[in-house]
Amino acid sequence: MSLISKSIVTLIALMLIIILGFVLSRLGRPYNQLIFNVHKIIALVLVVYSFIYIKKQLVTVEPGRIIVVVLVLILICIVALFATGAMLSIGKVSQVLLKRIHLSSTIVLVVSIVIFLVELIHKLKNT
Ligand code: HEM
């Protein structure tokens, strides 16, 4: 699969996670277990798959400053999303704050992934 196809699959998976997240949020508590698990599992698969792929790519491409910065942002967002997602499902800490962090991390994550993919495609074209 080419990098463009992989990028499209990644963005579709991300959109699916986000749509399921909004559905989950709309339906409210107690969370629909099927939607919650699919939301969580697609996120986990995407993270594992992306980690393996990015590690492989960074061997062949010299990462510039932009790639390093967005990778750090992506990592922070993923940790924040999994931590707040888990806390939301347990339901003990302030829900409003957790939801805000979960949503803002999603926005930063999407923007960072798009910048990362554009940079990577650009770098691979020039090598
Ligand atoms: C790539 C990772 C993820 C993304 C992009 C993502 C994105 C989203 C979005 C956009 C929402 C809707 C938020 C709102 O309406 O304000 C949502 C809701 C939710 N997500 Fe995630 N999520 C991710 C991972 C996870 C994980 C790993 C868990 C659980 C461990 C989780 C648990 C939840 C829960 C419980 C809600 C419902 C919150 C509510 O009641 O409003 N999410 N997610």
Atom 1 (ligand 1): residue with closest C-alpha?
Answer: 43
Atom 34 (ligand 1): residue with closest C-alpha?
Answer: 85
Q: Does any ligand 1 atom lie closer than 6 A to the CB of residue 121?
A: no
30 neighbors 88 (Cβ within 8 angstroms): no
Number of independent structural domains in the chain: 1
Residue among 7, 122, 103, 4 at smallest CA distance from 61: 122
Q: In the chain, which ranges are continuous DSSP H helix?
A: 3-27, 33-60, 65-90, 95-125
Radius of gyration of the chain (CA): 16
Where does the pLDDT of residue 59 fall: very low under 50, low under 70, confident under 90, or very high at 90 and above?
Answer: confident
pLDDT over 90 (residue 89): yes
Q: Which domain holds residue 49?
A: 3-125
Quote the pTM value.
0.94
Mean pLDDT of all residues in 39-60: 93
pLDDT at 83: 97
